[in-house]
Amino acid sequence: MNSLRTAITVLACVLLAGLIISLVSADTLSRKLKSLHLDYRFAMDELSVLSSERDTLVDLHSFSHLQSDSLDLLTYRLDSLQALMQVLELSENYVGYYLLIDTYQNRFHLRRNIGDGNDILVRSGYCATGKGWRSNNNGQVWNFSTPRGLSYVIEKGENPYWYRPDWYWEEMNMIPPEPDEYVVIPDTISWDEQISFYHDSLTAAERIYVQRVPGALGSYKIDLGGGILIHYGVGRGRNVSHGCIRMGSSDLEALYRSLPVGAPVVIY
């Protein structure tokens, strides 16, 4: 009998101990759940704040873009109006061919004032103009914009050479070569032969060190002064040049044949 009571007592103690341990574990788990819930609520509040800040930044970014687009549009309209005023002024005292360059749409318009208020469009097409401010990895900065305003043709030429300036190498994070490092193409051969020599007889690494490059500008050049030329080039329809105005071959020849030295060029 005593053995049975002892066994029952031991069993009751074990069950009581298990119950106490379960209650303690449940309380601990409850506390952890409350803590996690608070952390979750805190994280949700933080996420809500961050989402709100993100939405605000997105709105500000969109507003900034709208303001920038509005400023670009306003500048374009102002430049267009100034160009129109310059053209009207030219029409009063200039008769002949003249050229309009739109640096926003990258289009050119060759026109001719034949007098008595008659002004006709002769030719129109795409060109490429300056790409604006640029920098290299060394922090050097250049303004490769095409200057706007009224210019005049000061010189024309056939079979021009492109003389690479120092910024050509610097823009590619290279050190400009010393004079004795230039690769020189013989000038005892014809211009067409020099172009073939450049492309066929030199490696790509050697061509980079040619300062006097034949054929790069096409067959003609129209000089507007200040280092700004109208010449052949790629990228028409875009702002990709280093300030010059690039044309297709046929358009360049048409302008070369039509525009005399002294002809006005309105760039806007």
- The pLDDT score that the predictor gives to residue 87 is 83
Q: Given the structure tokens 């409850």, which residue do they identify?
A: 30
Q: How many CB atoms lie within 10 A of CB 44?
A: 10
- Which own/partner contact pairs does 142-145 have at CB distance under 8 Å and 24+ positions apart? 142/167, 142/171, 142/242, 144/241, 144/242, 144/243, 145/243
The domain that contains 168 carries what CATH number? 2.40.440.10
Is 101 among the domain residues? no
Closest CA to 232 of 243, 245, 242, 223: 245
Is 168 among the domain residues? yes
Exposure string (b/e) for 182-207, b if CB count within 10 Å is 16 or more?
ebebeeeeeeeebbeebeeeeeeeee
**How far is the C-alpha of 77 from the C-alpha of 99, rounded, in Å?**
19
**How far is the C-alpha of 130 from the C-alpha of 242, rounded, in Å?**
5
pLDDT tens for each residue of 51-102: 666 667 666 665 555 565 677 777 777 877 888 788 888 878 899 999 999 9
Is 46 among the domain residues? no
Residue 127 · residue 108 · CB < 8 Å: yes
Is 72 among the domain residues? no
- The pLDDT score that the predictor gives to residue 66 is 58
The rounded percent of the chain whose pLDDT value lies above 90 is 64
The total domain count for the chain is: 1
3-state class of 11 per DSSP? helix
- The pLDDT score that the predictor gives to residue 46 is 62
Q: What is the pTM of this model?
A: 0.72
Closest CA to 121 of 99, 106, 101, 102: 99
Task: Choose the weakest-confidence range: 46-60, 209-223, 239-253.
Answer: 46-60
Residue 197: domain span: 127-267
Is 75 among the domain residues? no
Is 254 among the domain residues? yes
Residue 213 · residue 229 · CB < 8 Å: no
DSSP one-letter string for 34-91: HHHHHHHHHHHHHHHHHHHHHHHHHHHHHHHHHHHHHHHHHHHHHHHHHHHHHHHHHH
Q: Which residues have C-beta within 8 Å of that of residue 141, sequence separation ≥ 6?
A: 133, 134, 135
- Examine the pLDDT at 1 and tell me if it is beyond 60: no
Is 43 among the domain residues? no
Is 29 among the domain residues? no
